[in-house]
Amino acid sequence: MGVVICAKHGMSGIAICIEKAICDKIYQNESIQDEELTIIHVEVFEVNSDGEIFVVNLNHLITKELKEKNNLQEAYKMLDEQAFDELEKKMDAGVTCGKCFQEFAQANGWSEQFINYAENNL
Ligand SMILES: [Zn+2]
């Protein structure tokens, strides 16, 4: 888990795999409603001689707008790093302060699945 130096919270846990456009709104404190959001479920596997080994869930929080624009699926199973990098680009992932994220999510009245997103993703 990484840390970020936040102007408001000081050294704080980082929230990852969030679309940059959403991170920008958090920084600028512009509202965004949870109807505009969706979660893309990403399971990362490592492949070796024993077969596929599950590594981590890296779910991404993005806008429905981006999902449509880049023709993204609801769920992905990633078996190699290159494919994951390409997917990451399509999801235009950024990072933000975990506390700012939680405050923003609550202030905007998001549903639980989105409010708890950062926690579940650490
Ligand atoms: Zn913060």
Distance (Å) from CA 88 to ligand 1 centroid = 23
Give one word for 78, left, alpha or beta, with left for phi > 0 and alpha for psi -120 to 50: beta
Distance (Å) from CA 10 to ligand 1 centroid = 7
Instruction: For residue 46, list its beta bridge partners.
Output: 53
Alpha helices in the chain (DSSP H): 20-28, 64-69, 81-90, 98-107, 112-115, 117-120
Distance (Å) from CA 77 to ligand 1 centroid = 31
C-alpha span between 20 and 102 (Å, rounded) = 16
Reported as a single tens digit per residue, the pLDDT across 18-51 is: 999 999 999 999 999 999 999 999 999 998 898 9
Phi, psi of 59 (to 5 degrees): -70, 145
Residue carrying structure tokens 């994951």: 84
Distance (Å) from CA 54 to ligand 1 centroid = 32
Phi, psi of 103 (to 5 degrees): -65, -45
Reported as a single tens digit per residue, the pLDDT across 47-95 is: 889 899 999 888 999 999 999 999 999 999 999 889 988 999 999 999 8
The whole model's pTM is what? 0.89
pLDDT of residue 23: 96
Distance (Å) from CA 52 to ligand 1 centroid = 37
Distance (Å) from CA 4 to ligand 1 centroid = 8
Distance (Å) from CA 13 to ligand 1 centroid = 9
Domain boundaries, the chain: 3-120
